[in-house]
Amino acid sequence: MSVSISQLAFEHHREALGIAESKPRISWRFEGNAADWEQSSYDIKVRRGRDDGPVSFAYNSSQSLFVPWPGEPLGSTERARVRARAHGNKGKSSTSWSDWVAVETGLLDEDDWAGAVPIASTKSFDRNQPKRPVYFRKPFLVNSKKNGHSAIETARLYITALGLYEAEINGNPVGDRVLAPGWQSYDLRHVYDTYDVTDLVEKGNNAIGIVVGEGWYAGSVFQQPYEEVRRNHYGGTIGPLCVLIVTLKDGTKIEVPTDSSWKAADGPITDSQIYDGEIYDSRLEKPIKGWSTASFKDDKWSAVKELSRPSGTLVPPDGPPVRRIQELEFKEIIKSPSGKTILDFGQNMAGWLKVTVKGPAGTNITLSHAEVLENGELALEPLRRAKARDIIILHDQGEQTWEPKFTSHGFRFAQVDGWPEDTPLTTEAIKGIVVHTDLQRTGWFQCSDELLNKLHSNVIWSMKGNFASIPTDCPQRDERVGWTGDAHVFGPTSNYLFDTSGFWKSWHKDVWLDMQRNNMIVPHWVPVTPPDAKDVITLTPIAVWGDVAVGSPWNLWRAFGDDALLKEQFEQSQAWIETGIPRGEGGLWKEGGFQYADWLAPTSTPTYLVADAYLVGMVDRLANMPDALGYEDLREKYRTQHSELRDTFRGRWINEGRMANTTQTAYALGLYFGLFEDGDLQESAETLKQLVAENDYLIGTGFAGTSIIGYAMNGAGLTDDFYKMLLQTKNPSWLYSVKQNVTTTWERWDSMLPDGSVNPNMMTSFNHYSFGSVADWMHGVIGGLAPGEPGWKRIEISPVPGGGITEAEATFVSGYGEIKTKWSIKDDGFHLDVQVPPNSKAVVTLPGSGKTIDVGSGTHKFHDSDV
Ligand code: BGC
């Protein structure tokens, strides 16, 4: 029976280096199976500055998530180390002290930037063409004016770019982030990153080098109308912005800001675009060999010009960076009917290839990427205008290892053209690099049904494929933008699988900024492109997509229990409901405009029925928020608005207890959002049951209905019927794609048609996460795990077996610690093992019993004879 602190964190940071918060709240997660353990008080020790001893603080509080920062706020670039210890109540044991965990703020004052400005090459270029990446360098001296011998204490690089950057110091890479600084609504909010480069800097002569590619900032990025390709959404010139600050032990500070004293040159990357890929000419490496070292001669490099400071406020990141997460080996080399060499990685993913190769100078290797094959060849149609190919041209200086820097591809298959005879095409020579935001994994699920396990794995891979700085719709075609509806419906699933709190916090800041410049309308995707768009379809208010401004803050609050985050996001929820949505009669949606509604549903439901149902549901969530925030007056206001709107909805869409349209989505929405009169509930449930059965348990929902139909049916006592739908393998169904041996979830139920051909529609992706939102139901109903109180302080454990599944297990790591359920059906009945982490509680409902059992932390075993 033990309890200890396994992780201490600040705000929602995975690593708290260079953060914005000067009073970062502290949370700790427990480990151990101590029974009924609740925290009664806690101690915190803080060490600030170099020599100060720790200062201790003691609090009588059971709070272990987001506790206030003790003592004075941190100053700019100030570092502290913190540890905590928690005491159990009623004579229960205390934890020992946690490890010391460091926290350090970023540049909190404008002056800290030491006059740094973005810089650009003075070489002329055509701003309407793809921009060749530019290499920048600056030699610098590390020496103390006071004392020539003073050693280096710390060195930090604060860096961003108009574009995407990668930095080197003295020939060594700085950190392991890629596609940095990610994508934000740059003109309003521009992220800079902080690196600890103490080990890279030396006394005496040093040099820093930065290469910048156009990225989303100045590259070609999706917009509507689709026919118009527009580049330079945020600016037409690329370049870095940074300050390197080296602090010596005697207190000397050496600052190296980007300014006119830097130099620039072209290098071997001759082209690098998000959609089209990268071209690398290794023969051009020679002139820049050693470019980021002090001894490099840069007299042939050109001067740079200073640009004005970015219009967006410079801010530290809220979530983790994008990294290279995994390396995959290809499974098979395929010779296509036309004689091409195609590698099958066995897994659809987002990222790129790394090659290690040797060959004659000028050998041109082209790597083309695709998600599926059609007639044995790469299916390139679904990529639309994205070329999705990388080209490396070899030097003849021996073996070389290369991977692209400023692009990414969605692929399982890669065609290799021009591979030289000198290198055997082995799994050592070409590797798949999986790239996504480096989120901490928190959720797992498995059960006795292998097809469902495969579906679950596909859901995870589609999340990995699309969580790259922002939540994208897909990673492969010329789109890859933050479609709000997709984010809305997949949110709860994502919050279980990974710690997404910082990721969503960041993206919702852009949602809010993009709303404010568009009369509180949530753009169809965020960051909206072009940022200054006016009067385009992208800015028309639409339900489900725009409703992310309410649904997602609500889901985040339930998942992470952060009141301050809810407070921050409440503004956008309110603004969308109060101002963004055009209201017609009785406060429902004003009809006559455009709606995606139940997008891609096999059976269509009237768009305004969907929009209005979501509106009632969203106002219900909005009315729950003031409770958490203590806004008494608003609670009343939105509760009243909710019940009035529900009445109006009934008047408009329900006639004598029946929905105006008899579709799966209409009934699922009605049941899920509580739109029917109590007296009509049973008949509604019957209608949905019948609808589903008559449809042979095939799914009939699209984006609006898919994430909720399972819960609607569970709530209406139709869990067995939903199991039949979930286990259906014919088209359309979840397992239809799984049966086709695919490894991600699709945009359409039939992205691949039953005859193996690719759906010819111009919107056919094999890596979209929306329909994978059913995984939330798998966690909640099969696994039986759901948050009862925000942040999983109280856990609802109520597995409902069905579908012939004989065992299942779910694990979720909440802010309190690891929660587990594991059940099996044996000859003697139903067995359930449960683990509840310290400082939280659970209420367990055994299947079919309706009776609840309250339990505290620790492990518990149940059998259906218990009720
Ligand atoms: C995207 C979607 C998005 C939709 C809008 C598509 O092009 O890929 O996932 O939500 O448009 O309906």
Picking from 680, 679, 670, 579, the residue whose alpha carbon sits closest to that of residue 622 is: 579
| Distance from the alpha carbon of residue 525 to the mean position of ligand 1, in angstroms | 9
With contact defined as beta carbons under 8 Å apart, do 799 and 808 qualify? yes
Residue 599 in contact with ligand 1 by CB distance below 6 A: yes
Measured in Å, residue 383 CA sits from the centre of ligand 1 at: 14
- Mutational pocket test of ligand 1: of 542, 544, 763, the residue with most ligand atoms within 8 Å of the beta carbon: 763
Would you state the pLDDT for residue 226? 80
Per DSSP, the three-state class of 821 is: strand
Of all protein residues, the one whose alpha carbon is nearest to atom 7 of ligand 1 is: 763
What pLDDT is attached to residue 140? 98
Ligand 1 atom having least distance to the Cα of 483: 10
Q: Is the CB of 763 under 6 A from ligand 1?
A: yes
Distance CA(805)–CA(847), nearest Å, equals: 14
Q: Is the CB of 486 under 6 A from ligand 1?
A: yes
> Which of 384, 486, 771 most suits a substitution to test ligand 1, by most atoms within 8 Å of the C-beta?
486
Residue 673 Cβ contacting ligand 1 at under 6 Å: no
What is the Å distance from ligand 1's center to 219 Cα? 21
Is the CB–ligand 1 distance for residue 474 below 6 Å?
Answer: yes
* 3-state DSSP percent of the chain in helix, strand and coil, to 5: 25, 30, 45
Q: Which two tokens stand for residue 463?
A: 């999340």
- Ligand 1 centroid to 699 CA: how many Å? 19
Report CA(481)–ligand 1 centroid distance (Å).
Answer: 9
Count of CA atoms in the C-beta half-sphere (13 A) of 467: 32
Could you tell me if the CB of 479 is within 6 A of ligand 1? Answer: yes
Ligand 1 touching residue 596 (CB < 6 A): yes
CA of residue 483 to ligand 1 center, whole Å? 6
| Ligand 1 close to Cβ of residue 525 (< 6 A) | no
Residue located nearest, by CA, to atom 3 of ligand 1 = 483
CA atoms of 495 and 500, how far apart (whole Å)? 6
Shortest-distance Cα residue to atom 4 of ligand 1: 483
Q: Cα of 785 to ligand 1 centre, how many Å?
A: 30
Instruction: Kindly state the tokens that stand for 554.
Output: 């609500």
How far apart are alpha carbons 745 and 732 in whole angstroms? 13
* H or E element in which residue 173 lies: strand 172-173
Statement: the pTM of the whole predicted model exceeds 0.95: yes
776 vs 272: CA distance, rounded Å: 37
User: Atom 5 in ligand 1: which residue has the minimum CA distance?
Assistant: 596
Q: What is the pLDDT of residue 849?
A: 84
Residue 1, pLDDT score? 64
Question: Is the CB of residue 384 below 6 angstroms from any atom belonging to ligand 1?
Answer: no
| CB of 771 sitting under 6 A from ligand 1 | no
| Rounded distance from Cα 580 to ligand 1 centre (Å) | 20
Most informative mutation of 599, 765, 768, 769 for ligand 1 (most atoms within 8 A of CB): 599
CA angle, 747 as apex, 744 and 748 as ends, to 5°? Answer: 115
In angstroms, the Cα distances linking 305 to 135, 168, 219, 302, 815 are 14, 21, 21, 10, 48
Ligand 1: distance of its center to the CA of 719 in Å? Answer: 30
Give the containing element (helix H, strand E) for 513: helix 501-516
**Residue 147 has what pLDDT?**
65
Q: Whose CA is nearest to atom 2 of ligand 1?
A: 473
Omega prior to 527 cis, within 30 of 0: yes
What spacing in Å lies between the alpha carbon of 486 and ligand 1's midpoint?
Answer: 8
* Structure tokens given for 495: 């919050």
For residue 562 and ligand 1, the question of a CB distance below 6 A is answered with no
Ligand 1 atom with the smallest distance to the CA of 763 is 7
Alpha carbon distance 666, 597 (integer Å): 11
pLDDT for the residue numbered 3: 96
Q: How many residues does the chain have?
A: 867
pLDDT at position 686, please?
98
Q: In 3D, which of 816, 839, 820, 818 has the Cα closest to residue 93? A: 839
Q: Domains along the chain?
A: 4-105 (2.60.40.10), 110-315 (2.60.120.260), 324-437 (2.60.120.260), 443-753+765-782 (1.50.10.10), 794-864 (2.60.420.10)
Q: What residue's CA is closest to ligand 1, atom 1?
A: 473
Give the nearest ligand 1 atom to 747 CA.
9
**Six token digits for residue 618:** 């969203």
Catalytic residues, which ones? 479, 747
Residues 447 and 509: beta-carbon distance below 8 Å: no
Residue of 222, 483, 524, 540 to mutate, ligand 1, most atoms within 8 A of C-beta: 483
CB 342 within 8 A of CB 378: yes
Q: How far is the CA of 257 from the centre of ligand 1 (A)?
A: 42
766 token code pair: 């094999």
Atom number of ligand 1 nearest to Cα 486: 10
Residue nearest to atom 11 of ligand 1 (CA): 483
Beta bridge partners of 500: none
The H or E element spanning position 105 is strand 101-105
Q: Tell me the C-alpha to C-alpha distance, in Å, between residue 254 and each of 113, 153, 196, 251, 443.
A: 12, 11, 15, 10, 45
Best probe residue, ligand 1, of 223, 473, 773 (max atoms within 8 Å of C-beta): 473
Minimum CA distance residue for ligand 1 atom 9: 473
pLDDT mean values, one per 10 residues, the chain (867 residues): 93 98 98 96 92 90 98 96 96 95 97 97 95 98 81 97 98 98 98 98 98 98 83 97 97 97 98 98 97 98 97 97 98 98 98 97 98 97 97 95 98 98 96 98 98 98 98 97 98 98 98 98 97 90 98 98 98 98 96 96 97 98 94 93 98 96 98 98 98 98 98 98 98 97 97 95 96 98 97 98 98 98 96 98 93 96 84
Residue with tokens 């109060």: 578
As a whole number of angstroms, the distance between CA 9 and CA 82 comes to: 9
Instruction: Report the C-alpha gap between 454 and 199 in whole angstroms.
Output: 44
Q: What is the pLDDT of residue 51?
A: 63
